[in-house]
Chain A
Amino acid sequence: MTRRIAVVGAGMAAARFAERFQALGGDAEVTLYGAEPRAPYNRVLLADVLTGRYAADDLALPAGDARLRTACEVTRLDTVAHTLRLADGEDVPYDELVLATGAEPVACGGLGRGRVHVVRTAADCEGLAAAAVHAQRVVVIGGGILGVDVARALAARTVLRAASSRAGRAESSSGRAEVSSPAVTIVHHAAHLNERHLDRQAGELLQRGLAGLGISVRTGTQVRALHGADRVTAVELTDGHVLDADLVVSACGVTPHTALARAAGLPVRTGVVVDDRLSCAPDVYAIGDCAEHRDRTHGTAGAAWEQADVLAARLSGAAPDAAYAGSRPYARLSAGPLEYAAFGDPAADEDGLDVLRIADATRGSYKKLVLRGDRIAGAVLLGDLATVGALARAYERDEIVPADPFHLLTSSTA
């Protein structure tokens, strides 16, 4: 009988796995069970759907010759019987199970999702795009990568107009309808933006860059309450300020979807706990945002891709001993003109660290390398990413940094 691989989830990890499994000559019937109504698409690009850079159709991802069951929620796993149950009550047998259930946005400060938009799915994005057409005052809660990227997209009035016309929602089909630029404010709990990736100086430079795009930032404060009945009219902050708002977007991070795995008795901490084979139980694997490997959930599409490649190599038989050795923390913002790449902990300030810093206020660039001995403990490139390739590689491979490491910060050829 044909071997059956069931993949719970139809997101980026699932699609990459299915595509590679087929390309590597894997011999099995692979089925993706996706809760969303859409075929797999590239979630990374959603913010730029808001700007109109991508049409929704543009995001489709290849998934090899896998069977695709969309709008098909899996409600129960039985890893002993090797079956999964679908929302309609059907029990489906499998030989190997891949959990690629992804993650969901966390609620900020207990705010319900009713009046607050999130940007996780294409449907979320469509809802936000529609609401944004008439928004005048937008508050984005959360100053991480997604929050900054969404704020930038919403503030880009001219491209927003194009987006709404492409989505067929413009006031006129010509796409020339007058849409006023909304005032966008980011509310961020920490003392500076993206504090997990950036030091104070970089965070402030980023904030200055956002100001240039018409986006204001309030740091060191959180949302206490939303005002308004059906529609939000204002956001009250813990520092006492009240911001008028007609659109609120929450971007406070994600948490792995683990309910199925937990109910099935699989090992779960923050995510579904997997070993270097990406296995959490006999014949059960987990990849992507739902997986926890070596005490870390990555929540990035890059790590999901790498995990999918390893699992596809293993299960297809192309490299049965392939192992996933982890991905080092890496953050990359590319929000229109604002760009940074951050590695490890660039704000580390313990004794004995060696810090190199190049700041160019005129050009808005800031580059920093933090060395612990001869290894990179953290680094940030903001505004000028000419050396991002070399730096990323040196960091990822934990290479010895030479005595004169300026080639990692400045490029002679760029």
Chain B
Amino acid sequence: MTTSGSGTATDTHCPYCALQCGMRLRPGAGAEPVEVLERPAFPVNQGALCGKGRTAAAVLRPGVRLTEPLVREDRDDRDAPLRPASWDEAFDRVAAGLTAAQRRYGNDAVGVFGGGGLTNEKAYLLGKFARVALRTPHIDYNGRFCMSSAAAAHRRAFGIDRGLPFPLEDVAGTDCVILVGANPAETMPPALRYFRELRENGGRLIVVDPRRTRTAEQADLHLQPLPGTDLALALGLLHLLIADGRADEDFIARRTTGFAQARAAAMAHWPQRVERLTGVPVAQLAAAAAMFGEAPRGMVLTARGPEQQSKGTDTVSAWINLCLAAGKAGRPGSGYGCLTGQGNGQGGREHGQKADQLPGYRSITDPAARRHVAAVWGVDPDGLPGPGRSAYELLDSLGTDGGVRALLLMGSNPAVSAPRAAHVTERIRALDFLAVGDIVLSETARLADVVLPVTQWAEETGTTTNLEGRVILRGKAVDAPEHVRSDLAVLHGLAARLGVPEGFPEDPEEVFEELRRASAGGRADYAGISYGRIRAEDGVFWPCPAPDHPGTPRLFLDRFATPDGRARFAAVTHRPAAEEPDDDYPLYLTTGRVVGQYQSGAQTRRVDELNRSAPGPFVEVHPVLARRLGVAEGELLAVTSRRGRAVAPARVTDTIRPDTVFMPFHWGGDGRANSLTNPALDPVSRMPEFKVCAVRVGPAAGEREERGAATEAAEPTQRTEPTQITEPATRSAPEERAGRRAVAGRMASGPAVPGRAS
């Protein structure tokens, strides 16, 4: 236990987003076992916490979280109730479920699904568990839904993938920041101070977002493109940068390759064309290009907006191109970065939880990487599986011929967070066996045959890596309830039952020491990082190849991590979203977050204070659209896509485009935004297109019977989430009528939508 300052208080970090704010925990006197205190000395948030972090201890309450293993009463009946069980029985059931599938269908029929909230130690050991204990290639995680497009573009351009190539504090000192599809005012409020300081220091903030978010309201310039057109927008800005003579030709010549092709791609996107594609007037494009081009130093930061698209990798590449052409990369105060989402979104993708990777950000297809990791693990490199299916493809295969039949899922809630969630739920229900390790009974855990209650952040020690690439240490502040075990202990127990008693330590520091060796020499090299150093230095930035290496707060100042040391331009061109609006589904849907909830809401929906501020799902509609649909504030709207339907109250606001509706995705049940979203995948990153699909919208006048069939057929009907909004009684009009009304008359069809490149 780390103690400092006020007696028995423990220094640690928030359980939520990638900012990983420093906080301090003191044993609590009230209903909650710990009290959350400020930790002003930690540099990233300097004591500030948002409502989620401040109230995180509420999820430690026994009535909220899981306190004992649960098993399904009748193992052959998916709808039978769950009952408490001993760990022995739970472990036996899991081992039996996994080995039965292996025996019947082979090792590839067993899969593992992880999460970006797991610590480095857990993510590392989970990857090892899949490959060594289960001997399956099929392990992936919800981080694939988070920043995989940025990761792929990062690697393509710079040869390495770290969310930010500089500490967040550098934002305050640069001259111009373009925030693309990022809304830190709601997703990571303590980070907002750096953007505020940027402007106080005379720097400019440009926000690109289809919505006038709370972040956009603070911008010097807000560009409001059509959803799915960020790629064209970035190309248009590059075009103008070049046309107006603001390209940094010296930087391009000295430190990059591939400019001629990227320039040609940008020249194909002339300003008037980009205006037509994006809806952003040429004058605004020119203003943005000038503002960024004239700034001596500048940054482009992307988040899920441009990334969660079926062309997310190319879209991020286009923004990186803009940075490179402007000479704003690999220099102090300049660069491209990704505002990673999940708490350990960064570390979770570095140590083997991804289908195609081994620890240290090594490729699973690289023979040298396989040899290195196999040696650390004491196994035959030829026995290591190859690459497995990506997250959505894995979920889509569940319970199918040739697919995964038995799944171990930890720290994720795909029944709410996966695209086309009704279908994914159906696939989960088709599994022969599902085991879920979680801290609460999430929507996905309810579908499990065995639920394993695991420890939370305050009850365990372990490292995470925040969006800056800073490896930090969470400290255990309080003991977990008696029948709750750490994820590491779960893997230890399961591995033993699967006949692998060695190699799965329960002690996090012991796992970390092994992770150091496994990562040594890899892209994400942790070899020089120790718990002691992290405590002493407020975190250590990777790569840190040796104990006497200072770590790397700022990447690329001398060279990029490519073989020739130069950053690589990517020649990318715009194309439509996988699904564009048409006569039947005339509006865009985009999805996102609200400040009071986190991810699938499994944790935050169990906190009263957060539910008061964000009580349930809603549909943002522009007043013009609301008038056309004939709906008023608060009226229930049915939103329908080719994949399903969701119902939630209208929130009428002029911060959204009239051709677009927005839904937050934090809720399951009828208001589940991901019932609608499109699992079209990026061909490189395998990222689904959460951020844009085509929908129709209308008053939810009495289509209850059809809705049941349309989207929720595969799911149990009971929903007892405390925040579940309940709907008014049924009305009589059939679904079809509501849908027709939503179309609001004939719409001429635009040009046909060519297929996507996957």
Binding site for B on A (CB under 8 A): 15-16, 19-20, 23-25, 42, 44-45, 48, 53-54, 58-62, 301-302, 305-306, 309-310, 312-313, 318-319, 322-328, 330, 332, 334, 339, 374, 385-386, 388-390, 392-393, 396-400, 402-404, 407, 412-414
- Greatest chain B CB density within 10 A among A16, A61, A301, A397 is at A397
| Extra inter-chain contacts (14) besides given A309-B754, A397-B747, CB under 8 Å | A23-B573, A24-B755, A25-B757, A59-B267, A306-B751, A309-B576, A318-B755, A389-B226, A397-B750, A398-B747, A400-B628, A400-B744, A400-B745, A414-B284
Kindly state the separation between the CA atoms of A402 and B744 in the bound complex, as whole angstroms: 10
Residues of the B chain whose Cβ atoms lie less than 8 Å from the Cβ of A319? 752-755
Kindly state the separation between the CA atoms of A11 and B471 in the bound complex, as whole angstroms: 52
Kindly state the separation between the CA atoms of A385 and B279 in the bound complex, as whole angstroms: 11
- Of the stretches B53-61, B268-276, B377-385, the one at the interface is B268-276
- Of the stretches B33-41, B258-266, B330-338, the one at the interface is B258-266
Contact with A along B623-637 (1 / 0, CB 8 A): 010011000000000
Whether a CB of chain A sits under 8 angstroms from the CB of B354 is no
Residues of the A chain whose Cβ atoms lie less than 8 Å from the Cβ of B273? 44, 301-302, 305
Kindly state the separation between the CA atoms of A313 and B578 in the bound complex, as whole angstroms: 12
Residues of the A chain whose Cβ atoms lie less than 8 Å from the Cβ of B711? none
17 A–B contact pairs at CB < 8 A? A20-B575, A45-B270, A58-B263, A60-B260, A60-B263, A60-B264, A310-B752, A325-B749, A328-B748, A332-B276, A339-B283, A385-B282, A393-B659, A396-B748, A398-B747, A402-B624, A413-B222
Would you call A60 and B267 a contact (CB within 8 A)?
A: yes
B757: contacting residue among A302, A318, A400, CB under 8 A: A318
Within the complex, the shortest CB–CB distance from B188 to chain A, in Å, comes to: 25
Kindly state the separation between the CA atoms of A58 and B265 in the bound complex, as whole angstroms: 11
Would you call B654 and A19 a contact (CB within 8 A)?
A: no
Whether a CB of chain A sits under 8 angstroms from the CB of B498 is no
Within the complex, the shortest CB–CB distance from A164 to chain B, in Å, comes to: 16
Kindly state the separation between the CA atoms of A263 and B664 in the bound complex, as whole angstroms: 59
Would you call B278 and A389 a contact (CB within 8 A)?
A: yes
Would you call A44 and B628 a contact (CB within 8 A)?
A: no
Would you call B754 and A42 a contact (CB within 8 A)?
A: no
Chain B, range 731-758, C-beta contacts under 8 Å to A = 744-757
Residues of the B chain whose Cβ atoms lie less than 8 Å from the Cβ of A61? 264, 267-268
Within the complex, the shortest CB–CB distance from B12 to chain A, in Å, comes to: 42
Would you call B264 and A62 a contact (CB within 8 A)?
A: yes
Would you call A42 and B268 a contact (CB within 8 A)?
A: yes
Residues of the B chain whose Cβ atoms lie less than 8 Å from the Cβ of A330? 276
Kindly state the separation between the CA atoms of A204 and B278 in the bound complex, as whole angstroms: 30
Would you call A402 and B628 a contact (CB within 8 A)?
A: yes
Residues of the A chain whose Cβ atoms lie less than 8 Å from the Cβ of B752? 310, 313, 319, 322-325
Would you call B268 and A53 a contact (CB within 8 A)?
A: no
Residues of the A chain whose Cβ atoms lie less than 8 Å from the Cβ of B222? 413
Kindly state the separation between the CA atoms of A58 and B745 in the bound complex, as whole angstroms: 45
- Greatest chain A CB density within 10 A among B268, B272, B749, B753 is at B268
Whether a CB of chain A sits under 8 angstroms from the CB of B64 is no
Within the complex, the shortest CB–CB distance from A339 to chain B, in Å, comes to: 7
Would you call B271 and A334 a contact (CB within 8 A)?
A: yes
Chain B's closest residue to A314 (CB) is B754
Within the complex, the shortest CB–CB distance from A344 to chain B, in Å, comes to: 12
Kindly state the separation between the CA atoms of A44 and B751 in the bound complex, as whole angstroms: 21
Would you call A19 and B573 a contact (CB within 8 A)?
A: yes
Kindly state the separation between the CA atoms of A58 and B754 in the bound complex, as whole angstroms: 28
Whether a CB of chain A sits under 8 angstroms from the CB of B243 is yes
Would you call A393 and B243 a contact (CB within 8 A)?
A: no
B746: contacting residue among A23, A309, A396, A398, CB under 8 A: A398
Would you call A309 and B744 a contact (CB within 8 A)?
A: no
Would you call A398 and B748 a contact (CB within 8 A)?
A: yes
Residues of the B chain whose Cβ atoms lie less than 8 Å from the Cβ of A407? 624, 658
Given contacts A23-B757, A322-B752, contact A393 B279 (CB under 8 A): yes
Would you call A58 and B268 a contact (CB within 8 A)?
A: no
B270: contacting residue among A42, A318, A389, A399, CB under 8 A: A42
Tell me the total A-B contact number using a CB cutoff of 8 A. 146
Q: How large is the interface on B (under 10, 10 to 19, 20 to 34, 35 or more residues)?
A: 35 or more
Kindly state the separation between the CA atoms of A118 and B696 in the bound complex, as whole angstroms: 49
Residues of the A chain whose Cβ atoms lie less than 8 Å from the Cβ of B581? 397
Kindly state the separation between the CA atoms of A48 and B745 in the bound complex, as whole angstroms: 42
Chain B's closest residue to A276 (CB) is B752
Kindly state the separation between the CA atoms of A312 and B753 in the bound complex, as whole angstroms: 11
Kindly state the separation between the CA atoms of A398 and B750 in the bound complex, as whole angstroms: 9
Would you call A44 and B270 a contact (CB within 8 A)?
A: yes
Would you call A20 and B754 a contact (CB within 8 A)?
A: yes
Within the complex, the shortest CB–CB distance from B161 to chain A, in Å, comes to: 23
Q: Which 6 A-B pairs have the closest CB atoms?
A: A389-B279, A313-B754, A319-B755, A318-B755, A398-B748, A323-B752
Residues of the B chain whose Cβ atoms lie less than 8 Å from the Cβ of A53? 243-244
Within the complex, the shortest CB–CB distance from A323 to chain B, in Å, comes to: 4
Residues of the B chain whose Cβ atoms lie less than 8 Å from the Cβ of A334? 271-272, 282
Chain B, range 574-591, C-beta contacts under 8 Å to A = 575-576, 581, 586
Residues of the B chain whose Cβ atoms lie less than 8 Å from the Cβ of A44? 270, 272-273
Would you call B267 and A413 a contact (CB within 8 A)?
A: no
Would you call B268 and A15 a contact (CB within 8 A)?
A: yes
Kindly state the separation between the CA atoms of A185 and B242 in the bound complex, as whole angstroms: 31
Chain A's closest residue to B749 (CB) is A325
Would you call A48 and B575 a contact (CB within 8 A)?
A: no
Would you call B751 and A325 a contact (CB within 8 A)?
A: yes
Residues of the B chain whose Cβ atoms lie less than 8 Å from the Cβ of A309? 575-576, 751, 754
Chain A's closest residue to B265 (CB) is A62
Kindly state the separation between the CA atoms of A334 and B260 in the bound complex, as whole angstroms: 26
Residues of the A chain whose Cβ atoms lie less than 8 Å from the Cβ of B267? 42, 45, 58-61
Contact with A along B19-52 (1 / 0, CB 8 A): 0000000000000000000000000000000000
Residues of the A chain whose Cβ atoms lie less than 8 Å from the Cβ of B749? 325
Would you call A392 and B276 a contact (CB within 8 A)?
A: yes
B268: contacting residue among A16, A310, A374, A392, CB under 8 A: A16
Chain B's closest residue to A308 (CB) is B754
Kindly state the separation between the CA atoms of A16 and B746 in the bound complex, as whole angstroms: 31
Whether a CB of chain A sits under 8 angstroms from the CB of B478 is no
Whether a CB of chain A sits under 8 angstroms from the CB of B503 is no
Within the complex, the shortest CB–CB distance from A351 to chain B, in Å, comes to: 23
Kindly state the separation between the CA atoms of A339 and B283 in the bound complex, as whole angstroms: 10
Whether a CB of chain A sits under 8 angstroms from the CB of B280 is yes
Would you call B755 and A58 a contact (CB within 8 A)?
A: no
Kindly state the separation between the CA atoms of A60 and B222 in the bound complex, as whole angstroms: 31
Residues of the B chain whose Cβ atoms lie less than 8 Å from the Cβ of A54? 243
Whether a CB of chain A sits under 8 angstroms from the CB of B297 is no
Kindly state the separation between the CA atoms of A53 and B654 in the bound complex, as whole angstroms: 38
A62: contacting residue among B279, B283, B571, B746, CB under 8 A: B571
Kindly state the separation between the CA atoms of A68 and B373 in the bound complex, as whole angstroms: 47
Kindly state the separation between the CA atoms of A393 and B588 in the bound complex, as whole angstroms: 13
Would you call A396 and B754 a contact (CB within 8 A)?
A: no
Whether a CB of chain A sits under 8 angstroms from the CB of B224 is yes
Kindly state the separation between the CA atoms of A208 and B305 in the bound complex, as whole angstroms: 43
A313: contacting residue among B628, B654, B746, B755, CB under 8 A: B755
Kindly state the separation between the CA atoms of A296 and B244 in the bound complex, as whole angstroms: 35
Whether a CB of chain A sits under 8 angstroms from the CB of B212 is yes
Kindly state the separation between the CA atoms of A63 and B659 in the bound complex, as whole angstroms: 33
Residues of the A chain whose Cβ atoms lie less than 8 Å from the Cβ of B755? 24, 313, 318-319, 322
Kindly state the separation between the CA atoms of A261 and B747 in the bound complex, as whole angstroms: 35
Within the complex, the shortest CB–CB distance from A325 to chain B, in Å, comes to: 5
A385: contacting residue among B283, B571, B658, B746, CB under 8 A: B283
Within the complex, the shortest CB–CB distance from B752 to chain A, in Å, comes to: 4
Chain B's closest residue to A39 (CB) is B264
Kindly state the separation between the CA atoms of A363 and B282 in the bound complex, as whole angstroms: 18
Chain A's closest residue to B576 (CB) is A309
Residues of the A chain whose Cβ atoms lie less than 8 Å from the Cβ of B271? 334
Kindly state the separation between the CA atoms of A87 and B275 in the bound complex, as whole angstroms: 40
Given contacts A62-B573, A334-B272, A400-B628, contact A390 B750 (CB under 8 A): no
Within the complex, the shortest CB–CB distance from B612 to chain A, in Å, comes to: 30
Whether a CB of chain A sits under 8 angstroms from the CB of B386 is no
- Greatest chain A CB density within 10 A among B242, B281, B575 is at B281
Residues of the A chain whose Cβ atoms lie less than 8 Å from the Cβ of B627? 402-404
